[in-house]
């Protein structure tokens, strides 16, 4: 069973209920000793050791790192005015008239981190501020400053805020692509409104998905993350930003040692686009990929861990118009090595319209490099059989929203259909706009292809025709 919920300032993701509930967020004494030993062996030249034993022996400490990071971490308070219906318990007119509404100011809290001190930009989670009417940022030096939203991205769960203040301290950016399982990290934030809380742990896994939708390439950590930590930084032992704390796995509502953070490279990339344009203009290559097993790697002569198999190309997509074919191996996107589906998903989160992307491929044991430009959805006629054999005899294309300021697709248009074809007999006609498959929205041909691919033999398709909405069941082909 999978459950998704949100608490004040922190999204909770329950992946599988556990048999026992508990906090589980504390660090055992043995781990504390182990961390201390590791820090004793590794000390930056600038990190002082403030504590000593009675005999003068120095003790390693995380304090120098924490002292550097804390001024860049902020508490975010959001406020809404909610109107509640009054009871009118003793009114003789109760039930005859609408009851008056009472306005209440509701508050919630989360965390954030300053990424640009000169311009006052703060990085946090979108779900921390998504319903906010007022936002206040509380700094480490006790200043409370009103903030505005620069932009947000629901898919990655990132938002950028801006405040007008001087003497800010920004965090140093790290490289999340360099993280390894086992690296020590610190989670900093304001859990349960306890400001400037620091917890420690390790990187438990990389490239995790938590089943919550959107672009998921999470860093998993056992550093304790709780309600109010959302939007706060995950930092390495040099105090560099490597992630944005976002979600937890919990059967009880509290930390059980499984937390998730958005990699800093993805979060910063989205933030820079939001700062530049105020929105995310994301495109889609139209690649379907599959991870390779060890046996498949040996059969294909692929050495190392790089490479995923391209299994399908979405008709009419960018990849369909370039020299990319099913069966090619995708090795790199830009500077990023593609080892698995999470690497590709993280890269896809940064496919911004207008951006040139270089793909390193391998075809028949020969290297191939292709550079493509990410473009808005295109209304290109596509033979229906290329999408699904049941649409043989039809012509499909993206139905673009002509009123939108940027090209966006509202569904898939049936531009032509052959009388007597399987789709015709099912009830489809020219001019139909396909809007859903099952319970999944269809915005473009890629969505349609995905829905048909995952639905099984019979698929219920939502159709908009002549101002009315309905459904048509597209059944399996005879003998299939």
Chain mean position to CA 433: 29
Tell me: pLDDT of 233 over 80.
yes
Q: In what order do the strands lie in the sheet with 158-162?
A: 144-146, 134-138, 73-85, 101-116, 121-124, 158-162, 148-153
> 282 burial class (0-12, 13-18, 19+ CB within 10 angstroms)?
buried
CATH architecture for the domain at 287-373: Roll (2.30)
Annotated active-site residue 432? The verdict is: no
Of 45 and 161, the structure prediction assigns the larger pLDDT to: 161
Going by C-alpha positions, the residue among 269, 442, 460, 430 that lies closest to residue 346 is 269
CB distance 369 to 334 below 8 Å: no
Overall average pLDDT of the 60-80 stretch: 91
Overall average pLDDT of the 86-102 stretch: 51
Annotated active-site residue 230? The verdict is: yes
Query: Which regions of the chain carry the CATH code 2.40.10.120?
Result: 1-43+57-85+100-277
Of 54 and 351, the structure prediction assigns the larger pLDDT to: 351
Q: Percent of the chain, pLDDT > 70? A: 78
CA terminus-to-terminus distance, the chain: 32
Give the pLDDT of residue 21.
36
CB distance 473 to 389 below 8 Å: no
Fold type of domain 1-43+57-85+100-277: Thrombin, subunit H (2.40.10)
Distance CA 135, CA 107 (A): 10
pLDDT tens per residue across span 462-472: 999 998 999 99
Q: Percent of the chain, pLDDT > 90? A: 46
What's the chain look like in SS3?
Answer: CCEEEEECCEEEEECCCCCCCCCCCCCCHHHHHHHHHHHHHCCCCCCCCCEECCCCCEECCCHHHHHHHHHHEEEEEEEEEEEEECCCCCCCCECCECCCEEEEEEEEEEEEEEEECCCCEEEECHHHHCCCCEEEEECCCCCEEECEEEEEECCCCEEEEECCCCCCCCCEECCHHHCCCCCEEEEEECHHHCCCEEEEEEEEEEEECCCCCCCCCEEEECCCCCCCCCCCEEEECCCEEEEEEEEECCCCCCCCCCEEEEEHHHHHHHHHHHHHHCCCCECCCCEEEECCCHHHHHHHCCCCCCCEEEEEECCCCHHHHCCCCCCCEEEEECCEECCCHHHHHHHHCCCECCCEEEEEEEECCEEEEEEEECCCCCCCCEEHHHHCHHHCCEEEEEEECCCCCCCCEEEEEEEEECCCCHHHHHCCCCCCEEEEECCEECCCHHHHHHHHHHHCCCEEEEEEECCEEEEEEECCCCCC
Query: Which regions of the chain carry the CATH code 2.30.42.10?
Result: 287-373, 382-474
> Pairing relation of β-strands 459-465 and 58-59?
unpaired
Distance CA 188, CA 232 (A): 6
What's the chain's average pLDDT? 82
Of 301 and 421, the structure prediction assigns the larger pLDDT to: 421
CB distance 391 to 425 below 8 Å: no
Task: Categorize the per-residue pLDDT at 454 as very low, low, confident or very high, splitting at 50, 70 and 90.
Answer: confident
| pTM for this prediction | 0.70
Going by C-alpha positions, the residue among 267, 246, 266, 268 that lies closest to residue 258 is 246
Tell me: pLDDT of 26 over 80.
no
Going by C-alpha positions, the residue among 11, 13, 27 that lies closest to residue 110 is 11
Give the pLDDT of residue 17.
30
**Least trusted range by pLDDT, from 37-41, 81-85, 369-373:** 37-41
Give the pLDDT of residue 351.
87
Q: Which of 204, 230, 264, 436 is catalytic?
A: 230
Going by C-alpha positions, the residue among 20, 25, 67, 26 that lies closest to residue 46 is 67
Chain mean position to CA 76: 20
Annotated active-site residue 249? The verdict is: no
CATH class as words, domain 382-474: mainly beta
pLDDT tens per residue across span 236-263: 999 999 999 998 877 766 667 889 999 9
Distance CA 169, CA 197 (A): 18
Q: Which of 108, 127, 176, 236 is catalytic?
A: 127
Distance CA 173, CA 115 (A): 8
Task: Categorize the per-residue pLDDT at 417 as very low, low, confident or very high, splitting at 50, 70 and 90.
Answer: very high
Q: Which of 108, 111, 153, 157 is catalytic?
A: 157
**Least trusted range by pLDDT, from 11-20, 153-162, 276-285, 311-320:** 11-20
Give the pLDDT of residue 375.
83
Give the pLDDT of residue 127.
92
Three-class SS of residue 274? helix
pLDDT tens per residue across span 396-410: 999 988 766 566 788
Tell me: pLDDT of 433 over 80.
yes
Tell me: pLDDT of 176 over 60.
yes
Overall average pLDDT of the 31-54 stretch: 53
**Least trusted range by pLDDT, from 48-62, 96-110, 111-125, 378-392:** 96-110
Distance CA 169, CA 85 (A): 45
């Amino acid at each position: 069973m999978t459950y998704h919920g949100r608490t004040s300032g922190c999204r909770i993701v329950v992946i599988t209920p556990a048999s026992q509930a508990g906090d589980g967020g504390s660090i055992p004494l043995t781990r504390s000793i182990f961390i201390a030993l590791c820090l004793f062996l590794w000390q930056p030249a600038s990190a002082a050791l403030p504590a000593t034993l009675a005999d003068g022996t120095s003790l390693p400490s995380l304090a120098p790192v924490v002292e550097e990071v804390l001024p860049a971490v902020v508490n975010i308070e959001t406020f809404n005015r909610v109107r509640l219906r009054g009871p009118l318990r003793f009114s003789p007119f109760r039930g005859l008239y609408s009851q008056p509404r009472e306005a209440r100011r509701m508050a919630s809290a989360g965390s954030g981190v300053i990424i640009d001190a000169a311009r006052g930009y703060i990085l946090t989670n979108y779900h921390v501020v998504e319903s906010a009417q007022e936002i206040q940022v509380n700094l480490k030096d006790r200043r409370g400053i009103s903030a505005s939203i620069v932009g947000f991205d629901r898919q990655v769960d990132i938002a950028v805020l801006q405040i007008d203040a001087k003497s800010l301290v920004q965090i140093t950016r790290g490289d999340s692509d360099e993280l390894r399982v086992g690296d020590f990290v610190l989670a900093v934030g304001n859990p349960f409104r306890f400001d400037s809380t620091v917890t420690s742990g390790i990187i438990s896994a990389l490239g995790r998905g938590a089943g919550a939708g959107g672009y998921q390439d999470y860093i998993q950590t056992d550093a304790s993350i709780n309600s109010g930590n959302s939007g706060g930084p995950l930092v390495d032992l040099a105090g560099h930003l490597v992630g944005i704390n976002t979600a937890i796995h919990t059967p009880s509502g509290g930390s059980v040692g499984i937390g998730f953070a958005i990699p800093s490279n993805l979060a910063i990339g989205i933030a820079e686009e939001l700062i530049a344009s105020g929105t995310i203009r994301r495109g889609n290559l139209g690649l379907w990929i599959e991870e390779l097993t060890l046996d498949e790697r040996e059969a294909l002569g692929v050495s190392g861990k790089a490479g995923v198999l391209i299994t399908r190309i979405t008709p009419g997509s960018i990849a369909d118009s370039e020299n990319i074919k099913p069966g090619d191996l995708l090795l790199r996107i830009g500077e990023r090595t593609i080892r698995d589906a999470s690497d590709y998903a993280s890269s896809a989160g940064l496919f911004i319209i207008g951006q040139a992307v270089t793909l390193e491929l391998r075809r028949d044991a020969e290297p191939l490099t292709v550079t493509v430009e990410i473009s808005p959805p295109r209304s290109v006629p596509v033979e229906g059989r290329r999408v699904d054999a049941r649409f043989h005899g039809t012509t499909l294309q993206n139905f673009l929203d002509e009123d939108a300021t940027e090209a966006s697709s509202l569904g898939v248009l049936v531009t032509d259909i052959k009388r007597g074809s399987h789709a015709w007999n099912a009830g489809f006609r020219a001019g139909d706009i396909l809007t859903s498959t099952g319970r999944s929205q269809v915005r473009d041909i890629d969505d349609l292809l995905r829905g048909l691919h995952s639905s099984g033999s019979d698929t219920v398709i939502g159709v908009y025709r002549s101002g009315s909405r309905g459904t048509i069941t597209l059944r399996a082909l005879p003998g299939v």
